[in-house]
Amino acid sequence: MTTSTLLLASSSPYRRALLERLGLPFECASPDIDETPINGETAEQLATRLAESKARTLARQYNQHWIIGSDQVACLPDGTLLNKPGTHQQAVEQLSRSSGQSVLFLTGLALLDSQSNRLQMHCEPFEVHFRDLDTTEIEAYLNREQPYDCAGSFKMEGLGITLFRSLNGRDPNSLIGLPLIALIDMLRQWGRNPLLEPTTN
């Protein structure tokens, strides 16, 4: 079994908490990449490109690691991208546009062996059906959770669930930012089974 250390290419506390659930030892480092979409790029292409870029950016510094990169893109039915809002007003606008809509979340996942340059890629889709939200509900939600660093302006692990009519997808963890089912599949393909390794918990 490989002794390569896992590295999560993210500063997100949400992704870190998800990866901790597997009980595997890992390190964290924050990649510095340009997340600007390329003209003509689809949402899926953007999500997977950014996930790979996060992993490759850290490969030289962490050259004996399996590096996990992940990035999430959300889009409305008309193809409009919903990025991290950053501000309260942007979040209000996003949730207002999402009200009554089905929003597709695409989470890109990359697993890079920085020693051999082996790479696995995946994009996990997940569809969220928003309830019809009024201004009072939107303001109340944003004031309580302030999800300004979250694509789509909600926190799935918190009160975000109150915004939805239904969910449709294989892995709800992908909404938080890391598709664990796909990651486990990748690790198993390279000979690491979280169930058969000593736990860090």
Do 165 and 130 meet the contact criterion of CB atoms below 8 Å apart?
yes
Which residue has tokens 């590295």? Answer: 7
Query: At 20, phi and psi to the nearest 5?
Result: -60, -25
Hey, what are 159's tokens? 């009160």
Pick the catalytic residue: 32, 34, 71, 171?
A: 71
71 a catalytic residue: yes
SS3 category, 194: helix
- Residue among 13, 44, 45 nearest 30 (CA): 13
Element (H, E) at 71: strand 65-75
Do 141 and 95 meet the contact criterion of CB atoms below 8 Å apart?
yes
For 26-47, give one letter per residue: b (16+ CB within 10 A) or e.
bebbebebeeeeeeeeebebbb
Catalytic residues: 71
